[in-house]
Amino acid sequence: MAASIYCIKLKEVTNNLEVQQHCSHIPHDFFNIVVRIRFVSSLNRETMLGSFNKSVTYRRDTILSGKDGPNILLSLLERMGAPLDYIRTLIVPSILSYARQIHTINSTSKLISFDGEVIIKVPVDNVDDEVDDDDDDEVDEPNDDDDDDGDALNFKPAT
């Protein structure tokens, strides 16, 4: 069950005087996870080819469970454009590992928010090259080259 943070504004008008009461409910033991994915050119990391932003707020014990956490994140990220195997084997485990670390450090916080940024290099064919005639239908996996300037997964500090 997903939870949201609510801010409720109640107005009461009596004798032309307006009284506002602010009530907010911040759930206890929740993660707010924001995932930002940027697809960049393999020729120039500054050239963004696309992006994807998603967020989810769930109970920490649900996200940290071995069964539910991966499924929640997978359902959140499966339509982002990266190969599903890449999401399963790299992105989801990295997010869960970071979530476990910050949960240990911030276990008394009511809500832990963090951002994960994934940078995926997309192979771009050089327009001067001849047309590739190798009739394979294989999709290039992210970071299939051996340079040190490959894909990246970064996290912003928890709040």
pLDDT (tens digit per residue) in 7-61? 444 444 555 555 554 445 555 688 989 988 888 888 888 888 888 888 989 999 9
CA distances 132 to 49, 129, 142, Å, are: 22, 8, 19
When mean pLDDT is compared across 24-28, 75-79, 153-157, the lowest value belongs to 24-28
Question: How far is 49 from 125, CA to CA, in rounded Å?
Answer: 13
**Per-residue pLDDT at 112:** 87
Please give the angle made by the CA atoms of 52, 78 and 113, to the nearest 5 degrees: 60
**Per-residue pLDDT at 93:** 94
- Residue 91, helix vs strand vs coil: helix
Please give the angle made by the CA atoms of 16, 21 and 27, to the nearest 5 degrees: 160
**By percentage, how much of the chain surpasses pLDDT 70?**
64
Q: Is the pLDDT of residue 73 over 90?
A: yes
Cα of first residue to Cα of last residue in the chain, in angstroms, is 22
**Per-residue pLDDT at 154:** 80
Average pLDDT rounded to a whole number, residues 92-119: 89
Question: How far is 152 from 37, CA to CA, in rounded Å?
Answer: 10
**By percentage, how much of the chain surpasses pLDDT 90?**
19
**Per-residue pLDDT at 18:** 53
